[in-house]
Amino acid sequence: MMVPTIGANGSEVTFTRTSEVCWRMEPRGDMRVPGILFASERLLPDVQGDRSLEQVANVATLPGIVTASYAMPDVHWGYGFPIGGVAATDVDRGGVVSPGGVGFDISCGVRLLGSPFDRSDLAAHLGTLMDELGRSIPCGTGRGGVWRVGQRDELTRILVDGAEYPVELGYGEPRDLDRCEDGGRLTSADPDQVSDRALERGIGQVGSLGSGNHFLEVQVVDEVVDEACAAVFGLHLGQVCVMIHCGSRGLGHQVCTDHVRRMQASMDALGIEVPDPQLACVPVRSDEGRDYLGALAASANFARANRQWLTEATRDAFGQVAGRRDLPLIYDVSHNLAKVETHQVDGRQAHLCVHRKGATRAFAAGSSELPDDLRAVGQPVLVPGSMGTASYVLVGTSPGDAFASCAHGAGRTMSRHEAKRRGRGGRPLRDQLRGQGIEVRARSLRELPEEAPEAYKDVDEVVRVCELAGLARPVVRLRPVGVVKG
Amino acid sequence: MSVEIERCGHRVVDHTADEIVTAWGPTREACLEQAALGLIDSVADVRDVGWCHHVEVVLRGTDTELLVGLLDEIIFRLDADDEIPVRVRIRRHGREVVAGLWMADRRAAVMAGAAPKGVSYSGLMIEEDPSGLWRCQVTVDV
């Protein structure tokens, strides 16, 4: 079976099926490597309305790209890179870094908190708990966060120290940091590369969800696939958990805007051409590349601190309503990031700048990047579904593929406008979800249908394909019982 | 009425994860103005909101840079100041373009969609067509 699409610079290319869940596009035109898509037939992007496969081909033209331009099972149309795209460039061989391979929401990610409660413990309190979370978790457009930054100096501390800073102030516990990617802090942050405009956008947003597909969900573990691994993660059947999805807010968005513009101005002199201007890129080993990676790390630190403060606000809400605030962090992953990592390429160890845009790092057991307790089993991989369906915790597997990467969610199939047009309105959707045992708190019912479950792919199928493709395997499934919509 | 026979206008086109704003007008300035109104419409309903203060923003560069600069400014003010323009007027001033923005408290408006994060260069276009109509298209990450 073949899927025709448009490749880089308008050339026609096709994806050919190589296994039940793997499709390959041979390089054509300016493509330097093949494109590889992990999908079942049900998950194939709609060629008419979704141009993500064309974007996979465009990414394959980046200077220094190695092995392949990958698309995860939840891939959909983005800008520059597809959402669900993974690409690595060889830093020692002129490999580039592209802000379009990260996206505007730098270090957007997901964290999962466990709890000492089972579903039955919270049944009587759920409405009150959701009211309290809806009141105390800042969401939506503009300013407002649970932490008020005193002065610019304090914002610099957040950019340098990430989640370590709130923990140092008593907003969290040291164990939280063990369960964050990079210990909650990227040491390569360079706050001098974050513009005044970025600081102005971020200073009033520390500890806030934002809008769009961001959320805080109270969930229940409704299926355990791997009991031993779940136990190591700190999860069991019937347990109440909390999932938080947000990123670096306006600060990260502005960093992307600023550095794309700067790179575009440099590309002519560097002799770099790309088929899509949002793929603007420069060598990792250039002034512009180093500056962007320093600003990116600072933004990622902002995102981790942001999620840490929201974690503490969540613990406070549980303490107030249910009497206990001991919600241990299971794991915190970023799914919009570029990082230099070491991977095997053609039988040699290579330093690669791995771009994951709408894709999650998925390290297998034995990785030195993981804390001692997780090293025995592998990294937790958090894959949220849509409100009303399910979310999953997976674990990275060996040997993995796509530079140890996995899907990051269900993946949209419908635009926001189409979701609104087809939906029955915010109030009926909220009532329908309530009928399914899911309490929704949204600042605007008008926006709610944009995130309706029908607007997304089937997360169960996405996870099935991840497992068949050897990217990661499921550990537990969670279903939502309460949603604070961003 | 068909959009094709209106001389000025804007609309939001479907995109899987983001928003594509298209706009048109008889002059470059009118086209820019409509693009700004298209972005504002995708965020909030400001029809019944009064303005608080007026700012003027000087934009420079190519037509593309003017378009991106204008929309970036609105996105910036939404995040940093919690303000949204309820009226926009673009005029040429020598080699520069001046954007007059009548700003209102964003919280007074009815929010209609997700907050914009930034303006993408993918598929970005602003040009005068053979009939003399200016058209632009821009993808906004939300």
Report the number of secondary-structure helices (H) and strands (E) in chain A. Answer: 14, 20
Report the number of secondary-structure helices (H) and strands (E) in chain B. Answer: 2, 9
What angle is formed at CA A156 by the lines to CA A171 and CA A251, rounded to 5 degrees? Answer: 90
Query: Does residue A299 belong to the interface with chain B, where contact is any CB pair within 8 Å?
Result: no
Q: Which of B106, B120, B139 sits opposite A141 (nearest CB)?
A: B106
**C-alpha–C-alpha distance, residues A477 and A406, integer Å:** 16
* Complex-level ipTM: 0.93
In chain A, residues 431-460 whose CB comes closer than 8 Å to chain B: 443-444, 446-447, 450
Cα torsion A16, A18, A23, A29: sign: negative
pLDDT for the residue numbered A256:
97
Quote the DSSP letter at residue B6: -
A263 Cβ contact list (under 8 Å, min separation 6): A98, A99, A280, A281, A282, A288, A292
Cβ distance of A141 and B117 shorter than 8 Å:
no
Residues of A in contact with B137 (CB under 8 A): none
- Is the pLDDT confidence value at A93 over 50? yes
Beta-bridge mates of residue A485 = A215, A442
Residues of B in contact with A447 (CB under 8 A): 111-114
pTM over 0.90: yes
Nearest to B44 by CA among B15, B82, B14, B6: B82
Tell me the mean pLDDT in the region A381-406.
96
Q: Which of B72, B111, B122 sits opposite A444 (nearest CB)?
A: B111
A217-266 pLDDT, tens digit each: 999 999 999 999 999 999 999 999 999 999 999 999 999 999 999 999 99
* Local confidence band at B3 (pLDDT 50, 70, 90 cut-offs): very low
Query: Does residue B106 belong to the interface with chain A, where contact is any CB pair within 8 Å?
Result: yes
**Interchain CB contacts (distance < 8 Å): A and B:** 119
B22-58 pLDDT, tens digit each: 999 999 999 999 999 999 999 999 999 999 999 999 9
A214 is catalytic: no
pLDDT for the residue numbered B2:
43
Please give the mean pLDDT across all residues of chain A: 95
Domains of chain A by range and CATH? 2-413+456-485 (3.90.1860.10)
Cβ distance of B121 and A260 shorter than 8 Å:
yes
Cβ distance of B110 and A418 shorter than 8 Å:
no
pLDDT for the residue numbered B1:
41
Cβ distance of A140 and B115 shorter than 8 Å:
yes
* Local confidence band at A4 (pLDDT 50, 70, 90 cut-offs): low
Query: Does residue A291 belong to the interface with chain B, where contact is any CB pair within 8 Å?
Result: no
Cβ distance of A140 and B123 shorter than 8 Å:
no
Share of chain A above pLDDT 90, in %: 89
A420-448 pLDDT, tens digit each: 888 878 999 999 999 999 999 998 888 89
